[in-house]
Amino acid sequence: MQSALESFHEAYASGLAQPVAAFLSPIAPINASNRLYDFARASSDDKIEGDVRYALKYNKTTRMTNKECGAWVDIIVCYWRAVKEIIKADKAADQSRTGDRQYLAIYDAWKDLTSSFIKHISGGLLPAWAIFTLYFTANHLRKIAIKTDEQLAKSKPAVLNTGYSDDIASTTPQNQKLEEAARVFNRIFALCLGDRNQDMSESRKWGVYCIANLQFKTYFKLKAISLSKNVVRSIEAQPDLPSFELYPRAHRVTYRYYTGVLAFLQEDYAKAEQSLQGAWESCWSRSQQNKSLILTYLIPCRLITQHKVPTAGLLAEAPRLQRIFGPLVACIKRGDLTGFDKALADGEPEFVRRRIFLTLERSRDIALRNLLRKVYLAGGFDDLKEGQTEKDRIRKSRIPLAHFVAALRMGISGAGSGQALEDEEVECLLANQIYKGLMKGYISREHAMVVLNKKGAFPGTGV
């Protein structure tokens, strides 16, 4: 066991959370693929506790107090038992005998490991950095819980739905283990948020945001968005947290992303844009996956708050988003309402899955604005008066209503709505554009004329 724990001694001596978390991982490192098997063979059920205690107590590299040594013995023993279950599952998989029992055993063993960590950190027996080692351990619990629930869903038949529903049978997988894990994460969050250590360098409050992010990932998976709001409220109500900017960038970016998505789902687009913009600006430039996730919500936000479409350069940074948003954005720029409706319908499954469909549907107003702007530009300029030069030219601000009606009725090359709209319907659309600030002017029904503002008929477009 002494040799099996050599990597733990080195990790502990570094005084850093991640090396210790790497040792306490359910996945063997690439450069030591047999590490888990070697670790499991280093002892037996009846000797493991004594072997680990001896290896820690008489090692010269790790100098621990007796109490701390006892805490790590408990944790490493729990880890050893979890590793045994992982190896059993691997062997069963090799023989094509993998079942829900193996997954449940791994989940239960890893939950015991996480609970052991919580107990000893709560008792003040571990160094301050151990809270981040606990975070990595808890994140593994989340992944194991998801896999366990997936396996349970496969092995159990559909059950009769006793609710008042049109469905006779429910085949929706129950996230039982992930819900259990969420309760464990709540304990860790409370452990961090409730720390009363006056020495901030030793405070568990430094773990608040990474644990909150772990909860967000779990609640979003469970579709329990309201529980995520409770996490945000708890943090905002805490008066003595260190400044947000002092936390690691990775924690800040993830937290801002999730709070931005929460605000987005509540249709508070201004707040959502602020959070998502902060996440975007702090995100590591090479983290393509994270940038893509942020833009998935930031682009629809800007369509609503600023009436701006993303540039080709911005979409080029995320090829997946180019595929999703590209057709829609092209139609908005052209003012192609028919094409917009088709692109929205084609992308509906993806947009609904990402919870952005309703927001993108509202961006039809921008496509309409761009179509109306084309009519305005096609109207040309007023004639020059005596003494005026070309630089004094002003666009015609009085546009016959019939011009807008014709544009909206057109279906040529995908432009316009292609629908037989009544004049009153067109008037209503124009009035809504004016009300929403997308167009400045008024409608003269008496003269069947739209009178636009000479100093900026379409705010934000340069005309």
Contact between residue 416 and residue 338 where contact means Cβ atoms under 8 Å apart:
yes
Identify the CA nearest to 427 among candidates 395, 449, 396. Answer: 449
Amino acid at 310: P
> Is the dihedral angle over the CA atoms 178, 184, 185, 190 positive or is it negative?
positive
Whether the CB-CB separation of 431 and 410 falls below 8 Å is answered with no
- What is each CA distance from 380 to 348, 393, 429, in whole angstroms? 38, 10, 23
Tens digit of pLDDT at every position of the chain (463 positions): 788 898 999 999 999 999 999 999 999 888 888 889 989 998 889 999 999 999 888 877 777 888 999 999 999 999 999 999 999 988 887 777 767 788 999 999 999 999 999 999 999 999 999 999 999 999 999 999 999 999 888 876 544 444 443 333 334 457 899 999 999 999 999 999 998 888 888 899 999 999 999 999 999 999 998 899 999 999 999 988 999 999 999 999 999 999 999 999 999 999 999 999 999 999 998 888 999 999 999 999 999 998 888 888 888 878 888 888 999 999 999 888 989 999 999 999 999 999 999 999 999 999 999 999 999 999 888 887 777 777 778 889 999 999 998 888 874 344 555 567 788 999 999 999 999 999 999 999 889 999 999 888 998 887 7
The number of beta carbons lying within 10 Å of the beta carbon of residue 94 is: 9
Contact yes or no for 396/380 (Cβ under 8 A): yes
Q: What is the per-residue pLDDT for 363? A: 92
444 SS3 class: strand
Size of the chain, expressed as the number of residues it contains: 463
Task: Please tell me the predicted confidence (pLDDT) of residue 417.
Answer: 53
Hey, what are 231's tokens?
């996490």
The residues pairing with 381 across neighbouring beta strands, listed in sequence order, are 395
Residue 358 buriedness (CB in 10 A; 0-12 / 13-18 / 19+): exposed
For residue 327, count other CB atoms closer than 10 A to its CB: 17
Q: Are 336 and 367 in contact (CB under 8 A)?
A: yes
Q: Do strands 441-444 and 159-160 pair parallel, antiparallel, or not at all (unpaired)?
A: unpaired
Q: Mind giving me the DSSP string for 347-400?
A: THHHHHHTT-HHHHHHTHHHHHHHHHHHHHHHT-BPPPPTT--GGG--B--EEE
Give me the pLDDT at residue 409, please: 81
Q: Among 299, 298, 300, 280, which Cα is nearest to 290's?
A: 280
Pull the structure tokens for residue 288: 């393509």
Q: Which two tokens stand for residue 110?
A: 């890893």
Structure token pair of residue 42: 């280093």
Looking at domain 367-383+393-452, its CATH architecture is Orthogonal Bundle (1.10)
Q: How many Cβ atoms are within 10 Å of 93's Cβ, its own excluded? A: 11
Burial of 374 (0-12, 13-18, 19+ CB in 10 A): middle
Q: Which amino acid is at 194?
A: G
Torsion of CA 129, 130, 135, 141, to 10 degrees: 170
pLDDT given at position 60: 74
Q: Could you write out the three-class secondary structure of 80-112?
A: HHHHHHHHHHHHHHHCCCCCHHHHHHHHHHHHH
Tokens of 190: 């409370």
Domain ranges in the chain are 1-160+172-235, 248-362, 367-383+393-452
Beta-carbon contacts of 9 under 8 Å, excluding residues fewer than 6 positions away, are 59, 61, 62
For position 59, what pLDDT does the model report? 78
